[in-house]
């Protein structure tokens, strides 16, 4: 554990842990508050999709808790056990967020399109970057270290691109829930808190990645 780890990585990791705890506690709090309309998360998403002409987007039930996501390749929204059939404010908010991603995709929202385009490259970069940096330091090859740093930079870029995608999806979700009268004004406040807490996990992930990149750069410069 080097000094750069203590200065940059450890604080970022602590923030990440806090964000993960925050999203779970906030979700659990509003998972106990049910929508006055008696609508399930599934029904809310189906209503949102159909109203936006996305009748071809399928909704599937998957196992797990808060494993919800939108698959742009298959045009499928997958809702977790804790969300799919729940009538809670928290679940409806999370489900509407995923519907927001589907709408982004349909409208060719630029940051989402960019993220989907670079994802295959970033997936390879993320697997190769750390081993290259480690081996480079091990055999004292700065060229290899800097190659790894370049690849890891793509990971950081991906994390940064993800932020506007997630914030925009949450913004769309809250507006839709209000405009379509799916949630009342008071219920919208709960959904907003859940989505805001979830957004912080993406901010924390970006912070960790940026801190790690800075650490690698400083370590490499120290070897020059």
Token match 């404010």: residue? Answer: 89
Q: 74, 98, 166, 187: which is the annotated catalytic residue?
A: 98
SS3 69: strand
Joined together, the tokens standing for residue 219 give 């370590």
SS3 157: helix
Q: Looking at the chain, which runs of residues are DSSP E strands? A: 58-61, 69-71, 76-79
SS3 58: strand
Question: Taking Cα atoms as reference points, which of 131, 144, 115, 134 lies closest to residue 206?
Answer: 115
How many Cα atoms sit within 13 Å of 185 on the Cβ side? Answer: 0
Q: What is the largest CA-CA distance in the chain?
A: 64
Question: Taking Cα atoms as reference points, which of 219, 23, 31 lies closest to residue 136?
Answer: 219
Work out the number of other CB atoms within 10 angstroms of the CB of residue 139: 9
For the question of residue 74 being annotated catalytic, the response is: no
Residues belonging to the active site: 98
């Amino acid at each position: 554990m080097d000094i750069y780890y203590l200065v940059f990585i450890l604080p970022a990791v602590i923030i990440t842990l806090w964000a993960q705890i925050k999203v779970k506690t906030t979700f659990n709090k509003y998972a106990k508050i049910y929508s006055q309309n008696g609508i399930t998360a599934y029904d809310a998403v189906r209503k949102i999709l159909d109203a936006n002409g996305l009748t071809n987007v399928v909704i599937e039930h998957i196992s797990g808790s808060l494993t919800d996501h939108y698959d742009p390749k298959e045009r499928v929204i997958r809702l977790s056990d804790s969300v799919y059939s729940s009538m809670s404010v928290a679940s409806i908010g999370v489900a509407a967020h995923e519907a927001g991603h589907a709408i982004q995709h349909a409208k060719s929202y630029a940051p989402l399109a960019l993220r989907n385009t670079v994802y295959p490259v970033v997936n390879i970069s993320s697997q190769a970057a750390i081993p290259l940096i480690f081996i480079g330091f091990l055999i004292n090859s700065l060229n290899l270290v800097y190659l790894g740093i370049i690849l890891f930079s793509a990971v950081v870029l991906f994390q940064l691109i993800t932020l506007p995608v997630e914030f925009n999806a949450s913004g769309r979700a809250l507006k839709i829930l209000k405009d379509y009268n799916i949630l009342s004004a008071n219920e919208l406040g709960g959904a907003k808190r859940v989505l805001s807490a979830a957004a912080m996990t993406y901010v924390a992930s970006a912070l960790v990645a940026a801190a790690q990149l800075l650490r690698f750069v400083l370590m490499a410069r120290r070897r020059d």
